[in-house]
Amino acid sequence: MLDSMKRLRWYQVAATDARVGLVEDVYFDSHSWDVRYLVVEKGMLLWRRRYFVPALAVAEVEPHERRLQLRLSKEQVAQCSPSGVGRTLSRRAGCPWTRKASAAADDYRLRSAKQLIGHRVQAVDGAVGRIGDVLVDAQPVSVPRIVVATRKWLPGRKVTVLTKHVQGINGANQRVFLDINRKAVRNSPKYDPAEQMS
């Protein structure tokens, strides 16, 4: 089952023994599009804290209740709170399901799904719109599709494009490059947020 990042952001997250916060973001590998970490936020304003929980720790997703169940206890979740995103995530000792330090070199490929929204989309023959949303699959936890809004200002057609067509992401210029042309993008399946996708 797919859900949009905009909806997923407010899912309740439950540890085995307590609620631990809300989903604030997901970080995915920009080559494989596998989700590596959920950013779970607890508290408000000055008391806000973020936990970077490995996606492998997700036991169950309950979309109708907007809830994620983890395989971790509240204490284990508290150990998943590095100061920032990057190579330190793989080296976080005490946080179950993190990858070993030998895999840390891959962490430079991590991207924020929340930050990807709004990036301009470049087809092989020119600009075609912006990222309107990111669709996250619960099993396995991955990003199989992006939503492309094909009009810049007026409400227009939103389509879903498979992430296998993404050839690169330029974070500095906020651009996503596709390996298909504009016509193929515009002819992609229409995005209906009310429709459950598979």
Q: Which residue intervals of 38-129 are DSSP H helices?
A: 74-78, 113-116
Mean pLDDT for the chain? 83
For residue range 172-194, list pLDDT tens digits in order: 899 999 999 999 999 999 998 87
Q: What is the pTM of this model?
A: 0.83
Matching residue, tokens 């179950």: 96
Where do the domains of the chain lie, and which CATH numbers do they carry? 2-112 (2.30.30.240), 116-186 (2.30.30.240)
Task: Choose between 88 and 57: higher pLDDT.
Answer: 57
pLDDT at 154 over 60: no
pLDDT of residue 105: 43
pLDDT of residue 109: 81
pLDDT of residue 86: 43
The answer to whether 170 touches 177, Cβ cutoff 8 Å, is yes
- The C-alpha atoms of residue 133 and residue 146 are separated, in whole angstroms, by 6
Which residues, 6 or more positions from 38, have their beta carbon under 8 angstroms from its beta carbon?
A: 13, 23, 25, 26, 52, 53, 54, 55, 58, 68
pLDDT of residue 179: 96
pLDDT at 15 over 90: yes
Give CA 149 to chain center in angstroms.
Answer: 18
- The C-alpha atoms of residue 17 and residue 33 are separated, in whole angstroms, by 30
Task: Choose between 106 and 95: higher pLDDT.
Answer: 95
pLDDT mean over 161-167 = 97
pLDDT at 159 over 60: yes
pLDDT of residue 161: 97
Taking the CB of residue 61, how many other CB atoms lie within 10 A of it? 19
Between 59-68, 119-128, 146-155, the lowest mean confidence (pLDDT) is in 146-155
